[in-house]
Amino acid sequence: MVTLPKETRLAILIDAENMSAAWVGPVLGRLQSPKVLTLKRAYGDWSKAQLNGWKPVLSEYGIHPVHAPTYVAGKNSADMMLTIDAITLLHQQITWFCIVSNDSDFTPLVHHLTGAGAKVVGFGSHQVSQAFAKACHKFVYLKPLAKLQPAALQGGGGAGDGAVVEPIEPILSRAELLQWLKKVYISFAVPDTWIDLGRFGSELRKQYPGFDHKLFGYSALGKLIAIEGGHLFELRRRPIDPTHPQHLILQIRLRQSVAFSSSTHPPNS
């Protein structure tokens, strides 16, 4: 938990184009307090289909979406808009900043904020650069499953009174992960139908931008489903082409014993 002084003026600035919407709940849960005046903004090009998964989250948590249109392919204007807003808020007596991102481009911004006397808390996945993490007064690593153990973290200097790196924070329980998988399957598959795993993975990432099976500790999506969701899904290998039986494709389907509805009640782990 990040302890904030009473009557703190906190700005939570989220780089939606570099973070999964699944992290929002845990991040806000660690920061919000009745005594804290909190401003919440998420930055991204909201015309992009990749950010559709964010829209219900914005409404649920009262986050203001800041539209940052992409004028040039390959250029992210969201980080620039977030930076400009942070500097503006600094001069409006915001004393604490929370930056949620995996983008190391925010490192100079953090140095500027801390140099002006503000406190900065960072949130991101294990993929974030150490430069960004160590620039913050405190950085919280987020990771999906509680059963995964954090890797050893190297020490080092940070901003102001020294960066504090907290342990990796689990953001999804096993039940929530299985709910995701089942919900995605039901959203586009016909009951008792085998679906190519590649197609399922594409749909999963479409509905939940930022999803990555590696964040759950698995080298392949098929392994994650087989181990975590074996009681929900069947898997099989089939030749891509009957004339080339050595070329196999992995397919999945919901087990017939599982109700074809969005409700999931997995057995205890």
Please name which of 245, 172, 185 lies closest in space to residue 25, comparing C-alpha atoms: 172
For the cut 50, the answer to whether the pLDDT of residue 267 exceeds it is no
Q: Range with the lowest mean pLDDT among 15-19, 55-59, 150-154, 157-161?
A: 150-154
| 114-131 mean pLDDT | 88
Q: Please tell me the pTM assigned to this model.
A: 0.57
Q: Are residues 198 and 76 in the same domain?
A: no
pLDDT score, position 109? 93
Domain that includes residue 42, residue range: 9-172
At 2 the pLDDT is 66
Q: Give the separation between CA 148 and CA 103, rounded to whole angstroms.
A: 23
Cα-only R_g, the chain: 21
CATH number of the domain to which 194 belongs = 3.30.420.610
**pLDDT tens-digit profile of 189-244?**
888 889 999 999 988 877 776 677 766 767 788 888 888 888 899 988 888 777 77
Same domain assignment for residues 204 and 216: yes
Q: Is residue 267 part of a domain?
A: no
- Measured between alpha carbons, how far is 29 from 37 in angstroms, rounded to an integer? 14
Predicted local confidence at residue 58, as pLDDT: 92
Look at residue 230 and tell me if it is in a domain. yes
Let me know whether 120 and 224 are in one domain: no
